[in-house]
Structure 1
């Protein structure tokens, strides 16, 4: 007879103290980007304590990738530090994913275990890693009865939009070959224990264009002797916004934001350089493809029309896609853990999640679990605080999902 949801819930509750301790330790040492030495060391240490063999996944980043991320405002990152572990044997194999990077946000809370290093786990990735460590303990204890393999991944760089991509490129979905994937994210403004999921497109894609315009500076009284990069920047700003109103289907959700526009030092100086950062989010793959092609064309024509030169750095994070058939299966397991009344379908989120690099390759499901209540500070806010009651629930959900999905393949 197979394990029941009640047994998994009970075991997760017994592990509450350890899961909470893991979360609080990670909360105090937030690290950003791809290189997370302290965080990864702690994950590896905890896996060692549980007798779970692990491997590093990621490796050295190409120099161009390092430079591109620095252009986007990240510190120099030369390596991607992910940690994987396999529990069980053979196929099929289900992947459970937890991201573990933080944000460049200074935490503002009264928590005794708050971060003091200038960064903050204000997206809850510390809780994701802790919940997956709790699930690892439950799965390891039942390893001999698993009907296949569970691959755990503790992923860096989700906030870069490319951490999952780097791990996939470095073999995340092989050895063993992954057949399905499940990802879970906390939500501070949803009641604790409520699970929401979207079928099909689950999160918006994000295309980022970092434009550096080179002109020729000089005195503001002699503009004819200059090439004004600020004027070019303003022309590009207006043109890319017009693309959304005139070339994207009005039925498509498209949000274009120029979050950085800078250049110049004084009112009487035409500067030599200006910079514009453009971000496009959409739930429509066709709109994303069109704008990804057209924005560089518009940039090229406008800059050259005004005799400027430019450098353009582009990042792309695809939509996350939740497979309909897999959702039907996994939702039933979630209902057993959380209660049917606490599981519901929700609209896709307009934010971006790099789990999409995984769901492009294998059937996947991404879901949000409440860890607070309406009115709380949202994710990415310096005042965001999670309800730790979610920790054993998330651990149980991960473990029971994997156990039950593997058993259903017998």
Structure 2
């Protein structure tokens, strides 16, 4: 019998992708403190390579794109990828769509509430002082609507809705504006999305006149979730070789990046507004990263190196919200102060940033070994 390459095998329906957990962990790794490591390296060494990386790990003030802008939409994309393996699996087991609809709505509401707690703590405040919009809230709402479409629409209709939301959002912002501004104004004060949030979103906005996780700009974020769902559906198919799955993700990812740059000429790439060109840009990068992790981990079978990221990815929401309840900086100083003194200036701040990340990882590893996972 002739041997076959792993990449050419037709897999049975997978129940969970190791690469998905690893990529989710890689994504969270940067916001659990890795960006601070490169920031401190840039400050202490002044080497162009570290300064360049540190700059990419910041957000542009308005238009433009840095790699740090990918973290949030990549997480939402991966939430979509997991849908066919979770909600889709339950459908196959015979659960009704109405049962799963209630679960999806419940999860969305819980994430919105967790986001409010993350922003404002547990203290009771006047409504005017509460920030309702949040990263978790946007993930919750976009995940919820994308999953509702998954439950009740065919794959072809899911593709239709992906383009419907981003084209419709583009047309809305192109031909409307806040009162007193010309149609198509995309400044922070003049754009239609921020104006709608000022009119209808209760409480305070993050920047007073604008919130980067506002309600109206969640519309195109649904497309980010849908792209993940479509990707997960493709990865779950058994009649398609693993090589072809990787190639599809790469080809579509590159096409999306090209289209994003073309659209950018008329509708700038802007994370603050989650513009349609931004959706295609981060969608293309998400597909390329998913293809890379899937090929190395699930196709070639190289898993050991990714265990570090899997430990983070399998408890991603826990580590995200832990900073509201655990003083990680204080704990890091308590455990590693002797090491900082031993290293001395100026590199003690770099060592401190590394220890900060490692302490969080050890906490997650302990939870992993105890099989304690925060599920929403």
**Fold shared per TM-score above 0.5:** no
For the aligned pair, the TM-score class normalised by the smaller chain equals under 0.3
Give the structure with the larger strand fraction.
1
Give the structure with the larger helix fraction.
2
Question: What is the TM-score with the length of structure 2 in the denominator?
Answer: 0.25
Question: What is the TM-score with the length of structure 1 in the denominator?
Answer: 0.24
